[in-house]
Amino acid sequence: MKKYSRKDFLKKGAMAAVAGGTLLSGCGQPEGTSPGSAAAVSSGKKYRWTMVTTWPPKFAVLGEGADLFADWVKKMSGGRMEIRVYGGGEMVPALEAFDAVSSGAAEIASGAAYYWSGKVPAAPFFASVPFGMNAQQLNAWIYSGGGQALWEEAYAPFNLLPMLGGNTGVQMGGWFNKEINTIEDFKGLKMRIPGLGSKVIEKAGAASVNLPGSEIYTSLETGVIDATEWIGPYHDYKMGFAEIAKYYYAPGWHEPGTALELILNKDAFLGLPEDLQEIVRSAAYRLNMWTLCEFEAQNNGFLQKLKKEKNVQLRHFSPEILNSLRGYAQEVIAEITAQDALSKKVFDAYSAFQKDVGEWSSLTEKAFYNTIQA
């Protein structure tokens, strides 16, 4: 292979600029003469889709994001594509969104992959892995590191196409009615926690429950559960958990950067003309960025409100507790990957990417944060 020189790199850049100029001038050609334009653009036929979500209707950030996505698609398509959004329970129960899109009852859903681990054991690796990758790293894996192809492979048997549809950033560890001072304090605890984290706390002797957002408050208030995690200060404040649980723990070891997802019925997506497909993809990218930015921008302000207005007691899991949980997480993942070949394939790719990107992150992000005085 020819050695790649600085000169080649600069030359390639110059050629790309010329190619870009050619493409731009191509836009002025009559319809049908530029490559792909005749087949790529639809005739003006209108497409009406239904979106179901796992979020309560008009839910802050998550439900708002679904509504915004529909709005962006409508505007970008000049009204040729309209998506009607239903909150969880309005058309189908929140946790039936996957089946609704798989069957074609709805064309698209907004949720999180770890809700479907009962159907797709590998699904949680596309949402969040305890002690796994953060938002930036997970985005890099899905978009540029091969994760998307594996995700599509995992959902293909269900006639579904997944896309990233947001990220929460690092979450909080949850709300507890008692202090968690040692790993023993998890014993007998009944906690709402989804995904792989639920299996980790079970190893520590707790019982886990997977409840949609709409059911958590009442379950905690009435003692059906005695702890819950949700997202982070911004959302948790609005969920009102501070009124019914006293201790708020950091960090969200189980969700270091949870990806939200859009799941599309594959036939419905492939039935769109190419320009609408690109509009849907572009709106999904925008939703992914918008969601993370909303959480990042608001979290600390709401953390201060929780402390000042609600007198919430902020706590940190000790290094010993986190070490125990990390050990249990490794056991959980080993068990899943031993039982399911696709999970092994996905996790091998995930962990290889995490190790690779982690070396870079240690040199840069981690070292950079260490220079900042909070």
When the beta carbons of 89 and 252 are compared against Ca ion, the nearer one is 252
CA 46, CA 35: separation in Å to the nearest integer?
24
Selected range binding Ca ion among 33-41, 221-229, 276-284, 344-352, rule: CB under 5 A: 221-229
CA 18, CA 91: separation in Å to the nearest integer?
51
Contact 49, 69 (CB under 8 A): no
When the beta carbons of 254 and 266 are compared against Ca ion, the nearer one is 254
When the beta carbons of 169 and 273 are compared against Ca ion, the nearer one is 169
By CB under 5 A, the count of residues binding Ca ion is 3
- Provide, rounded to whole angstroms, the least separation between the CB of residue 325 and Ca ion: 15
Buried b (16+ CB within 10 A) or exposed e, 348-365: ebbbebbeebeeebeeee
- Provide, rounded to whole angstroms, the least separation between the CB of residue 172 and Ca ion: 8
In the window 70-89, what residues touch Ca ion (CB under 5 A)? none
- Provide, rounded to whole angstroms, the least separation between the CB of residue 174 and Ca ion: 8
When the beta carbons of 226 and 229 are compared against Ca ion, the nearer one is 229
Selected range binding Ca ion among 52-60, 108-116, 228-236, 284-292, rule: CB under 5 A: 228-236
String marking each residue 17-46 x if it binds Ca ion according to CB under 5 A: ------------------------------
When the beta carbons of 91 and 206 are compared against Ca ion, the nearer one is 206
- Provide, rounded to whole angstroms, the least separation between the CB of residue 229 and Ca ion: 5
- Provide, rounded to whole angstroms, the least separation between the CB of residue 292 and Ca ion: 15
In the window 154-183, what residues touch Ca ion (CB under 5 A)? 171
- Provide, rounded to whole angstroms, the least separation between the CB of residue 254 and Ca ion: 7
CA 151, CA 126: separation in Å to the nearest integer?
7
When the beta carbons of 146 and 240 are compared against Ca ion, the nearer one is 240
In the window 246-265, what residues touch Ca ion (CB under 5 A)? 255
When the beta carbons of 25 and 218 are compared against Ca ion, the nearer one is 218
String marking each residue 334-373 x if it binds Ca ion according to CB under 5 A: ----------------------------------------
- Provide, rounded to whole angstroms, the least separation between the CB of residue 71 and Ca ion: 26
- Provide, rounded to whole angstroms, the least separation between the CB of residue 255 and Ca ion: 5
Selected range binding Ca ion among 2-10, 73-81, 226-234, 344-352, rule: CB under 5 A: 226-234
- Provide, rounded to whole angstroms, the least separation between the CB of residue 108 and Ca ion: 22
When the beta carbons of 115 and 269 are compared against Ca ion, the nearer one is 115
When the beta carbons of 175 and 353 are compared against Ca ion, the nearer one is 175
Q: Which phi and psi (to 5°) does residue 147 adopt?
A: -65, -35
* Closest of 290, 292, 235, 270 to residue 107, by C-alpha: 270
String marking each residue 278-297 x if it binds Ca ion according to CB under 5 A: --------------------
Encode the chain in three state secondary structure.
Answer: CCCCCHHHHHHHHHHHHHHHHHHHHHCCCCCCCCCCHHHHCCCCCCEEEEEEECCCCCCCCHHHHHHHHHHHHHHHCCCCEEEEEECCCCCCCHHHHHHHHHHCCCCEEEECHHHHCCCCCCHHHHCCCCCCCCHHHHHHHHHHCCHHHHHHHHHHHHCEEEEEEEECCCCCCEEECCCCCCHHHHCCCEEECCHHHHHHHHHCCCEEECCCHHHHHHHHHCCCCCEECCCCHHHHHHHCHHHCCCEEEECCCCCCCCEEEEEEEHHHHHCCCHHHHHHHHHHHHHHHHHHHHHHHHHHHHHHHHHHHHCCCEEEECCHHHHHHHHHHHHHHHHHHHHHCHHHHHHHHHHHHHHHHHHHHHHHHHHHHHHCCCC
When the beta carbons of 115 and 141 are compared against Ca ion, the nearer one is 115
- Provide, rounded to whole angstroms, the least separation between the CB of residue 113 and Ca ion: 13
Residues near Ca ion, by CB under 5 A: 171, 229, 255
